[in-house]
C-alpha cells in the first residue's frame, strides 16, 4: 500500500523575516550540544519523530551518525524543561550561504505547551548567526526547511508565524513506512 506525502519547502531570505515567538515558558532553556554525539542525536531524532514516522535516519550506522553530527557548520540546539530534553533543532550550513533547519520538533509530551514557537524562533536566530560561530563560513543569506504532511499538525502554522515563506511543494507516493515508535502499543 502506498502513502501520499506532500512536502512543503519554506525559507527566509533575511534575518528581518524572523517573527519571534514570546519568550520561553517558565523552566525552559535552550542549549547548544557542543560535543557532537551520535547517540544523543539519534535519541533526539527517535524521541521526537517516533510518532511522526521519521524513518530516514533510523537505518544509519553509528559511524554515519557521527559523520553527520560532526560536519563543520552542523549544530544541535536542545530545549530543556526543568532539565529534561523537550525538543531540538538541527542546523546544517551549506556552501552557498544557506543554512538548512534539517530537523525540528518536540517530544510528544512537550507539544502544545508553547515551547515549539520559542524553540523555532531561537533555532532560526541561531541559523542566521551561525557563520559567526564557524570561522571561514560565508555570511548566511538564507535559512530554509521542509515539512511534510506526516509532521505534527501545527508545524506549518508555526513556520508561517515565524516568518517562513513557501517556495516549493511536491507530492509523492511513498511505500508504507515502518512504525518507528519507541514503545510498543498497549
Give the domain CATH number at 37: 3.40.630.30
Residue 33, C-alpha cell as written in the block = 550540544
pTM equals: 0.92
Q: Which residue has the cell 550550513?
A: 93
Enclosing domain of residue 63: 15-141
Q: How far apart are CA 70 and CA 35, in angstroms?
A: 9
| 78 in a structural domain | yes
Q: Return the percentage of the chain with pLDDT > 90, whole number.
A: 80
Q: How many domains does the chain have?
A: 1
CA distances to 40, 160, 170 from 181, rounded to whole Å, are 17, 28, 26
What is the structure's pLDDT at 177? 58
Q: Which residues contact 119 (CB under 8 A, 6 or more apart)?
A: 30, 77, 79, 86, 87, 88, 89, 104, 106
| 146 in a structural domain | no
How do residues 104-128 score in pLDDT, each as one tens digit? 999 999 999 999 999 999 999 999 9
What is the structure's pLDDT at 186? 46
Q: How confident is the model at residue 181 (pLDDT cuts 50, 70, 90)?
A: low
Residue 32, C-alpha cell as written in the block = 547548544
Residue 151, C-alpha cell as written in the block = 509532521
| 168 in a structural domain | no
Q: How far apart are CA 163 and CA 181, in angstroms?
A: 31
| 186 in a structural domain | no
Q: How confident is the model at residue 150 (pLDDT cuts 50, 70, 90)?
A: confident
Q: How confident is the model at residue 182 (pLDDT cuts 50, 70, 90)?
A: low
| 179 in a structural domain | no
Given a contact cutoff of 8 angstroms between Cβ atoms, the answer to whether 152 and 52 are in contact is yes
| 32 in a structural domain | yes
| 122 in a structural domain | yes
| 149 in a structural domain | no
Amino acid at each position: 500500500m502506498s502513502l501520499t506525502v506532500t512536502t512543503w519547502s519554506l525559507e527566509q531570505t533575511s534575518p528581518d523575516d524572523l517573527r519571534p515567538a514570546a519568550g520561553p515558558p517558565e523552566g525552559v532553556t535552550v542549549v547548544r550540544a557542543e560535543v557532537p554525539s551520535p547517540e544523543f542525536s539519534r535519541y533526539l531524532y527517535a524521541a521526537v519523530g517516533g510518532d511522526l514516522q521519521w524513518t530516514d535516519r533510523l537505518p544509519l550506522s553509528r559511524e554515519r551518525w557521527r559523520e553527520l553530527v560532526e560536519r563543520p557548520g552542523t549544530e544541535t540546539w536542545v530545549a530543556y524543561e526543568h532539565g529534561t530534553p523537550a525538543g531540538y533543532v538541527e542546523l546544517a550550513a551549506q556552501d552557498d550561504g544557506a543554512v538548512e533547519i534539517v530537523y525540528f520538533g518536540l517530544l510528544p509530551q512537550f507539544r502544545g505547551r508553547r515551547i515549539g514557537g520559542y524553540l523555532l524562533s531561537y533555532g532560526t536566530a541561531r541559523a542566521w548567526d551561525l557563520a559567526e560561530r564557524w570561522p571561514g563560513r560565508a555570511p548566511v543569506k538564507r535559512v530554509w526547511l521542509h515539512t511534510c504532511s506526516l509532521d505534527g499538525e501545527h508545524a506549518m502554522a508555526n513556520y508561517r508565524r515565524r516568518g517562513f515563506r513557501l517556495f516549493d511543494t511536491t507530492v509523492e507516493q511513498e511505500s508504507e513506512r515502518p512504525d518507528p515508535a519507541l514503545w510498543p502499543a498497549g
